[in-house]
Amino acid sequence: MKIEKSEQLFSNAQKYIPGGVNSPVRAFKSVGGNPLFIEKGYGSKIVDVDGNEYVEYIGSWGPHLFGHNPSFIKEALLQAIENGTSFGAPTAIEVEMAKLFTSLIPSCEMVRMVNSGTEATMSAVRAARGYTEREKIIKFEGCYHGHADFFLIKAGSGALTFGVPTSPGVTKGNAADTLIADFNDIDSVKDLVAQNKNEIAAIIIEPIAGNMGVVPSSDSFIKELRAICDEEGIVLIFDEVMTGFRVAKGGAQQVLGVTPDLSTFGKIIGGGLPVGAFGGKKEIMQKISPAGPVYQAGTLSGNPLAMAAGYAALKHIHDNPQVYDELEEKAVYLENGFKKNLKELGKNFAMTRVGSMSCMFLTEEEVTDFNSAVKSDTELYGKYFHEMLNRGVYLAPAQFEAMFISTAHSYEDLDKTITAHLESLKAIL
């Protein structure tokens, strides 16, 4: 496979950009080799600068529920850009977006648009702290909520993949206010709540984890979390940046049947442009400036281009809820193909899936939390990743990520992927 142009670009990039990339996981550090520079994407495909085409399952880390550059998003952007890019003043599309968004996510009585998932989660925590007048938060080992200081305490995703669970630069003060519980272990939550009585402002969780690989929450766990928050006056925050509009039209809160006090979103709601959002109970959201005293702001929050792309994505979901049936059928097809391969190879690698986000862990033990996830053989995953890449299938360049299927993936794409999966595993086992 010719990759000279990518190699040249990467060599140049490292002179000006830390690690040659604008987000760490893109650098292929945990799978080895150098990153491919992508020229374009269409449907389920991406093409690198050397002209190599791949069926891909990153979808820009989740946004591309309908594949790359779907016509209805492209047309919305082309129309919006005729009027300019950003005004730093309110626009009608922001009202339309908020109205549509809150109609799709009933727990969000009000919503504030921001520019990334990180901004959404850090703002939601500030809202919870302002509302409760408490300071501590509980997060879960292996869950990733973006890179605000108080989250980079045993984060999952990039930090976990690099094996650096606590990032340098995070102050002791921040670490002291962030308590770490174990995913799917309600006793670990009860212990922290008992030890910090009336001090915990919020519990933030990926209700279906996607940043330690995909790890579903157990049936009772989230319901018990809701009960604890009700009893203790703690704000329950669902970080649905990845699961929102991914696992169902109403996100993980619809799948699990549990209503959070606040939720955060990103990825799909931007249609591929930088957007995040946080929303929830009116009594909490009314605390947010300028309605209330909790400050939160952003130069490009709700900008017309991102709103046009995001609105087009959500409107498509609103008008075509059957897309989730299609995504489920395709995800089951791929999952069955992988399971058939593993049976033929006599390998019982742990496979998890919720809707169109899934993961194959290179461990034969069941994966139910962070400690079981990290038993995966990340070196073997690196070999698997490159074998698949050489067969024209582009997966997440890290074991602790999710594999995303879009409506643009054809059954031909899925068959190619299933064949490549078998051949790749045969080559490395």
Task: Report residue 209 as tokens.
Answer: 């984890």
Q: What DSSP line would sit under 194-207, residue for residue? A: HHTTTTEEEEEE-S
| From 48, 185, 239, 369, active-site residue | 239
* 121 binds ligand KE4 per the rule CB under 6 A: yes
Task: Report in angstroms how near the CB of residue 34 gets to ligand KE4 at its nearest.
Answer: 17
Task: Report residue 108 as tokens.
Answer: 């969000």
Q: Site mask, ligand KE4, residues 223-242, x = CB under 6 A?
A: ----------------x-xx
Q: Site mask, ligand KE4, residues 160-189, x = CB under 6 A?
A: ------------------------------
Question: Is 287 noted as a catalytic residue in this protein?
Answer: no
* 59 binds ligand KE4 per the rule CB under 6 A: no
* 150 binds ligand KE4 per the rule CB under 6 A: no
Task: Report in angstroms how near the CB of residue 327 gets to ligand KE4 at its nearest.
Answer: 18
* 107 binds ligand KE4 per the rule CB under 6 A: no
Half-sphere exposure for 416 (CA within 13 Å, toward CB): 18
Per CB under 6 A, contacts with ligand KE4 among 252-281 are 266, 276
| From 144, 324, 384, 394, active-site residue | 144
* 246 binds ligand KE4 per the rule CB under 6 A: no
Pairing of strands 262-265, 357-361: unpaired
Alpha-carbon 318 to chain mean position = 21
Q: 163 with 379: CB under 8 angstroms?
A: no
Query: Could you tell me which residues come within 8 angstroms of residue 388 by beta carbon, excluding any fewer than 6 positions away?
Result: 394, 395, 417, 420, 421, 424
Q: Site mask, ligand KE4, residues 358-377, x = CB under 6 A?
A: --------------------
Q: 37 with 51: CB under 8 angstroms?
A: no
Q: Which is nearer to ligand KE4, 342 or 396 (CB)?
A: 396
Q: Which residue blocks in 82-213 are alpha helix, DSSP H?
A: 92-104, 117-132, 157-161, 172-177, 186-195
Question: Is 144 noted as a catalytic residue in this protein?
Answer: yes
Stretch that binds ligand KE4, among 100-108, 139-147, 283-291, 405-413 (CB under 6 A): 139-147
Measured from each CB, the residue nearest to ligand KE4 is 117
Task: Report in angstroms how near the CB of residue 297 gets to ligand KE4 at its nearest.
Answer: 17
Long-range contacts of range 289-293, CB-CB < 8 Å, 24 or more positions apart? 292/130, 293/130
Q: Which is nearer to ligand KE4, 146 or 341 (CB)?
A: 146
Stretch that binds ligand KE4, among 78-86, 92-100, 138-146, 292-300 (CB under 6 A): 138-146
* 206 binds ligand KE4 per the rule CB under 6 A: yes
Q: What DSSP line would sit under 284-302, residue for residue? A: HHTTBTTTSSB----TTTT
* 23 binds ligand KE4 per the rule CB under 6 A: yes
Task: Report residue 387 as tokens.
Answer: 């074998």
* 56 binds ligand KE4 per the rule CB under 6 A: no
Number of H helices, E strands in the chain: 15, 16
Residue at token pair 């929102």: 244
For residue 192, the SS3 value is helix
Query: Could you tell me which residues come within 8 angstroms of residue 191 by beta carbon, excluding any fewer than 6 positions away?
Result: none
Footprint of ligand KE4 (CB under 6 A): 23, 25, 61, 116-118, 121, 144-146, 157-158, 206, 210-211, 239, 241-242, 266, 276, 401
Catalytic amino acids? 144, 239, 267
